[in-house]
Amino acid sequence: MGTEITLEHNFYDIEDSGDILGLAKSLVNGRHPGILATVDANGSPRLRWMSTLSCEAFPVFHSLTAPNSRKVREILRHPAVHWMFFNADKTLVLNLTGWARIIEETALLKQIWRKIVDTSHAYFLNEYAEKPGFVAIETTVEAIECSSPGNALRFEIDPAGLVRAPNAWEGRHGGKSGMGKETEPPL
């Protein structure tokens, strides 16, 4: 018998990894900002919020950023990353640990741009006269940890239980997301 918890008026069975994956996808859907942690050249953690996100083939998702940003240099040196997301009333915290790579290929950037749910915070585009003016951070999640501090709950999903997107590291995700608007990227 599963224990049910109520979060944002939805019921989730914490013993059902499908429910937890659905919960994770709902927080990484591009409608909630995430906090990205990287490691700098001195081995210190660096955190920043990210809001230009798309998640078509979880456990792989994308975020856009400036091509010469510090986070890009940090990921190129040390691709291990950590993300934190939370729901609107902050009753649920989702921590994702994984590996990131930087995508610079124009064709892939166009595909990713079209799947970004909210591009209104793509402030970095104003800084670049050269196109495309952005790169994508592709994260492949290796571990998921959910917690609900108010309910005194914390649970993890075994990384072996995650279903991998085919060819995730090559950036070839098939199908349509059905998310976001279909706009032309600034390429």
Q: State residue 187's pLDDT score.
A: 53
**CA–CA dist 53, 34 (Å, integer):** 9
Contact partners, residue 168, CB within 8 Å, separation at least 6: 57, 60, 138, 140
Query: For the domain 4-159, what is the CATH superfamily, name and number?
Result: Electron Transport, Fmn-binding Protein; Chain A (2.30.110.10)
Q: State residue 165's pLDDT score.
A: 44
The answer to whether residues 139 and 60 touch, using CB atoms and an 8 Å cutoff, is yes
Rg, the chain, Cα only: 17
The answer to whether residues 23 and 153 touch, using CB atoms and an 8 Å cutoff, is no
Q: What is the mean pLDDT of each run of 10 residues along the chain (187 residues)?
A: 44 54 81 92 95 83 92 97 91 93 93 82 63 87 90 79 48 33 47
Structure pTM? 0.73
Q: State residue 174's pLDDT score.
A: 35
Show me where the domains of the chain are located. 4-159
